[in-house]
Amino acid sequence: MSQTMAVETFGLTKRFKTATAVNNIDLAVPQGAICGFLGKNGAGKTTTIKMLTGMKKPTSGEFAIMGKKETFGKGIRAVGYLPDVPGFYGYMTGWEFLDLCARLCNMPENERKSHVDDLLKQVGLDGVKTKISGYSRGMRQRLGIAQALVNSPAVVFMDEPISALDPMGRRDIMEIISSLRGKTSVVLSTHILSDVENICDHIIIIEKGNVVEQGTLAEIKSRFTRQDSVKITFYNQDDCDKFGEQIRQAASGGLNVTDDAMRIIIQSDNITPAEISKLSAKILSNAAMPFKGLHTDAPTLDDIFYEVTK
């Protein structure tokens, strides 16, 4: 029996006059997953999310939420949405705002109070009596998440929920999102790939409106195992450049050598990382060249993102 997908698209496309923002994409997000939805600015992430939440009409194609095909203009009850900059009524308290949202979702009066109390506790705002106008950015993001969950959605879309937050605020928001795993499917758009790698179990990468990678993090990494690399970091650019020249000459074209801000990254399809490390150490020793560090590793999500979008 096939697994129910939280989100599926079938040739979903959005064109704006002469520009195609989203181009015939087929996505599949498993039920209960936390999915990192990645792409550079202008790649089509927000446009896709707005189609999937009923805020933009697709030019062509279809999509389904929890196995049910949706139609623009009919209302999508199974989703929640957190925009990149959520808006609130500053004169209200968080409790009053969530109560208003619950009323708009036609929640019965006898259920609203306990539901709003539970949501505020879930996002760490229980007991806060301050008006929203006095909230910090992190508190606003917490309230935004609570608002996105007010209708108990099967799928919640979050567009850049951790942008402009300090490290502590970022960590708190990611912990809240992680707590939704298995209960609510999450589609999370962000540029902070280390956070995605820490909490997401499914990844979609789009570039110029096209899907260039999707699957579990393990599946995607397995497709890039040939790119296990040796990375050498230098104290200055001159040493970095000199080493790059010498390693290219020594390998006679058998290596893929790239320079990334005082760091040399070496990859090969036919020379093992151990052999590359041995050759690199020999060059560094013979030239008495100072360096910060040398290590081998499998590609990170950051490496993969760079490779598929460059």
Q: What is the DSSP string of 138-156?
A: HHHHHHHHHHHTTT--SEE
Residue type, 45: K
pLDDT grade for 119, boundaries at 50, 70 and 90: very high
Core vs surface per residue 55-73: b (16+ CB within 10 A) or e = ebebeebebbbbeeebeee
pLDDT grade for 26, boundaries at 50, 70 and 90: very high
Question: Residue 222 pLDDT > 90, yes or no?
Answer: no
pLDDT tens digits, 63-99: 999 999 998 888 777 899 999 888 999 999 999 999 9
Mean pLDDT of 54-59: 94
Residue 225's pLDDT is what? 60
pLDDT tens digits, 225-266: 655 678 899 999 999 989 988 888 887 667 888 887 888 888
Mean pLDDT of 11-32: 95
Residue type, 58: P
Question: Residue 37 pLDDT > 90, yes or no?
Answer: yes
Distance, in Å, from the CA atom of 12 to the CA atom of 63, rounded to the nearest integer, reads 7
Of residues 33 and 273, the one with the higher pLDDT is 33
Residue 260's pLDDT is what? 79
Kindly state the tokens that stand for 186.
């999450």
Question: Residue 16 pLDDT > 80, yes or no?
Answer: yes
Question: Residue 10 pLDDT > 90, yes or no?
Answer: yes
**Contact between 101 and 149 (Cβ < 8 Å):** no
Q: Which helix (H) or strand (E) holds 103?
A: helix 94-104
pLDDT grade for 277, boundaries at 50, 70 and 90: confident
Question: Residue 14 pLDDT > 90, yes or no?
Answer: yes
Mean pLDDT of 213-235: 83
pLDDT grade for 1, boundaries at 50, 70 and 90: very low
Of residues 270 and 56, the one with the higher pLDDT is 56
pLDDT grade for 211, boundaries at 50, 70 and 90: very high
Q: Which residues contact 154 (CB under 8 A, 6 or more apart)?
A: 6, 31, 65, 66, 78, 79, 184, 185
**Contact between 197 and 217 (Cβ < 8 Å):** yes
Kindly state the tokens that stand for 2.
């096939």
Residue 73's pLDDT is what? 80
Which percentage of the chain shows pLDDT scores above 70? 97
Residue 132's pLDDT is what? 97
